[in-house]
Structure 1
Amino acid sequence: MPLVSTGELVTAAAAAGHGVAAFNVITLEHAEAIAAGAERAGVPAILQISENAVAFHGGRLGPVAAAATAVARAASVPLSLHLDHVESADLLRAAPVAGFSSVMFDASKLPYAENLKATAEAVRWGHDHGVWVEAELGAVGGKDGGAPPDAHAPGVRTDPAEAVVFVAETGVDALAVAIGSSHAMTARTATLDHALIADLRAAVPVPLVLHGSSGVPDDEIRRAIAAGMVKINVGTALNSAYTAAVRDHLTSRPAVVDPRKYLAPAREAMTGTVAGFLRVVGA
């Protein structure tokens, strides 16, 4: 099946009143598991590659993007390719050449005014080159081993009044918001601010994005989508399934040296995780 655009998937999900899940790709097995999980659930999905994943692959976007693209094109359900948490201007500009229809440009570490300015420039460039652009306002936190922010600290949660101005002045196509989740959570214990989600949904005209969804229980995700979230990002949950399967296999079979023996169950574990999230998000 031909690749579809992320904007197309997000727009369709928003119109239908459900969500669309985006899963992080690190290895070829991740991409294969995402495609297989989407086929198992019978719903579309987004394959996203982060700037950190590109760094892991030696800073070369082309090979990992080509692999993910090939996997997506071989799938029987619609899949798109998204470049996530991009801070580098060079990587942003490499996105359309590498086949990405969308980019999450992340200047959220900067003060509000600088975030707005940098994001507006990224959006202008992206739209000139046919790229759908997501940005972040607020502090989701938890990336790169950092501690999650205090959800009640000033400036952590996304402010609806700031979001109105940010969206209007940057022209972003989607907005990732801080509503109580955190990246890199291995336990699904996050509690979201559903009233804030509703306020943000009423305040801005673009789809809202939930980062750090691996740490959010199924019922919280369902409530968040009902309140107005659309794109649901999942990364750590796949890595947890992958690593647990590899660890279990090698613990019980310490003499194994053929990676196919332990990568096959790792891929299957991720496939089940993907299908499970998609049944919650894309129903």
Structure 2
Amino acid sequence: MPLTTTGELIAEARQKRTAVAAFNVITLEHAEAIAAGAERAGAPAILQISENAVKFHGGSLTAVAAAARAVAETSRAPLSLHLDHVVSADLFRRAHAEGFSSVMFDASKLTYGENVKATAQAVRWGHERGLWVEAELGKVGGKEGEPPLDAHAPGVRTDPAEARAYVESTGVDALAVAVGSSHAMTERTAALDHELITRLATAVPVPLVLHGSSGVPDKEIRAAVRAGMRKINVGTALNTAFTGAVRAFLEAHPSAVDPRKYLVPAREAMAGTVAHFLRQLEG
């Protein structure tokens, strides 16, 4: 079906008091698996491409965006395209032309004042072109190149009063908050602060986004949605499924050289993971 927009998917989720899952795309197989998993679960999803994924593809957004867009447009599931964790202003400005309806502009490493200024500028530019803009306040941590972060350390969590002021000052359409999760977790052991999520959802008039959801147990994700999370980001869990399937196939078939032989089970493993996460958000 035709691409939908992230804003439309999130608006529907807010109305239903549920959430939409956003899955990271690195390869064509990732995009195909997300579409297949969404169809299997009978649910919408967001295909998101990060700035790190763009770097992996030689710095070119065009090819990976075109592939993800083509997969989404031929899927039976409602899907949108989102450009994630964008630090580069140049990459941010390329999103609209490449078919993205939303961007997560990441100025979280800047001081609060610099973050507000840079994000407000990005939001103004994006809104003039119809882009839905997400930002981050707090320290989720765990991104490539970052030192390990204790998600429970003092000062890491997002403050509700500061979040309200930040949204008012920047005009963002959604806010990623730090409530106990961390990027790149390969074990699902994160414990979320659900009381804080509730306070943030009350304080902030825009949808809340949970980054680092791969490390969050199913029960915690369901509770986070009940508390007010409306966009759930998943990346590492797909890579864990992909790599595990490839490793298992090559261990069983050490002489195999045709990548299609191990990419098929890898894609299927990711599709199963996508469907599983989506089913946690059904209500």
Matches within 5 A, 1:91-240: 91-240=91-240
Residues 186-218 of structure 1: CA distance to partner in whole angstroms, max 9, x if unpaired?
Answer: 000000000100000000100000000000000
Give 3-state SS (helix, strand or coil) of 1:144's partner: coil
Instruction: Provide the C-alpha distance between the structure 2 equivalents of 1:145 and 1:122, rounded to a whole number of angstroms.
Output: 24
- The aligned residue for residue 272 of structure 1 is 272
Equivalent-residue separation in structure 1 for 2:191 and 2:145 (angstroms)? 21
CA distance in 1, matches of 2:45, 2:69: 13
Q: SS of the residue aligned with 1:49?
A: strand
Tell me the distance in 1 between the aligned counterparts of 2:17 and 2:253: 46
- Contact 1:20 1:282 (8 Å CA) reproduced: no
Secondary structure at the aligned position of 1:195 is classed as helix
Instruction: Structure 2 unaligned segments of length 5 or more: list them.
Output: none
Superposed displacement of residue 281, structure 1: 1.8
Residue matched to 2:21: 21
Counterpart for residue 259 of structure 1: 259
Q: Give the TM-score normalised by the residue count of structure 2.
A: 0.99
Identity %: 73
Number of aligned residue pairs? 283
CA distance in 1, matches of 2:25, 2:124: 27
Shift of 1:145: 4.8
1:55, 1:151 → 2: CA distance? Answer: 27
Separation in structure 2 between the aligned mates of residue 148 and residue 38 of structure 1, nearest angstrom: 32
SS for the counterpart of 2:59 is: coil
> What CA deviation, in whole Å up to 9, does each residue of 1:120-161 have, x standing for no partner?
010000001110000000000000053442234343100011
Q: Is the 8 A contact 2:133 2:172 kept in 1?
A: yes
Distance (Å, rounded) in 2 between the aligned partners of 1:48 and 1:152: 27
TM-score using structure 1 length: 0.99
2:209 is paired with a residue whose SS is strand
1:280 maps to a residue whose letter is Q
Q: Deviations over 1:68-127 (max 9, x none)?
A: 000000000100000000000000000000000000000001111111111001000000
